[in-house]
């Protein structure tokens, strides 16, 4: 069985990511840039992109762009947040991916990602962070 992870990102300005960025800076977490995406993970699909594109509630071509991720887990500088006990939606697991950058292109180091997760991005009472 193949596992696919498809990231749905805003191609318009992401206000939520900007709020998270400014909040993290206020908390002393040194982040230059922050990207946010919803990652849908599922098994066995003939065309993983089409599976997301078909759903108008998950994907709006006017404001979203899709990316099939090369790995089924967080990349460098990234944390995936999963809601504990969340039901699968249409046979897919849902994560919020926060990707932190130390400068314009370089991913943030692990310690920075952990600090961001612990201080703001994850409430361990209801969420699980994968880094």
Task: Please identify, using beta-carbon distances, which residue of 53 and 127 lies nearer to other proteins.
Answer: 127
- Closest by CA to 39, choosing from 9, 78, 18, is 9
Task: Please identify, using beta-carbon distances, which residue of 48 and 78 lies nearer to other proteins.
Answer: 78
Task: Please identify, using beta-carbon distances, which residue of 120 and 130 lies nearer to other proteins.
Answer: 120
Q: What residues contact 76, with CB distance under 8 A and at least 6 apart?
A: 107
Q: What residues contact 89, with CB distance under 8 A and at least 6 apart?
A: none
Q: Which stretch binds other proteins (CB under 8 A): 22-30, 40-48, 66-74, 103-111?
A: 22-30
Q: Is 25 in the site for other proteins (CB under 8 A)?
A: no
Q: Is 105 in the site for other proteins (CB under 8 A)?
A: no
Burial class (CB in 10 A: 0-12, 13-18, 19+), 36: buried
Sheet containing strand 33-43, edge to edge, reads: 64-68, 3-10, 33-43, 93-101, 78-83, 127-130
Terminal Cα-to-Cα distance of the chain (whole angstroms)? 24
Which of 16, 47, 67, 110 forms a contact with other proteins (CB under 8 A)? Answer: 16
Residues 37-96 interacting with other proteins (rule: CB under 8 A): 83-85
Least distance between other proteins and beta carbon 68 (Å): 26
- Kindly list the residues in this chain that would bind other proteins in the complex (CB under 8 A): 15-16, 19-20, 23, 26-27, 83-85, 119-121, 123, 125-127
């Amino acid at each position: 069985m193949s596992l696919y992870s498809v990231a749905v990102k805003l191609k318009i300005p992401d206000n939520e990511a900007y709020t998270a960025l400014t909040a993290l800076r206020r908390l002393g977490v040194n982040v230059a840039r922050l990207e946010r995406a919803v990652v849908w993970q599922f098994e066995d699909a003939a065309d993983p992109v089409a599976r997301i594109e078909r759903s108008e509630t998950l994907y709006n071509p006017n404001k979203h762009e899709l990316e099939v991720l090369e790995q089924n887990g967080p990349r460098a500088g990234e944390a995936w947040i999963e809601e504990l006990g969340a039901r699968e939606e249409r046979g897919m697991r849902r994560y919020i991916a926060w990707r932190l950058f130390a400068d314009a292109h370089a991913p943030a180091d692990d310690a920075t990602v952990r600090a961001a997760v612990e201080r703001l991005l994850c409430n361990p009472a209801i969420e699980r962070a994968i880094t």
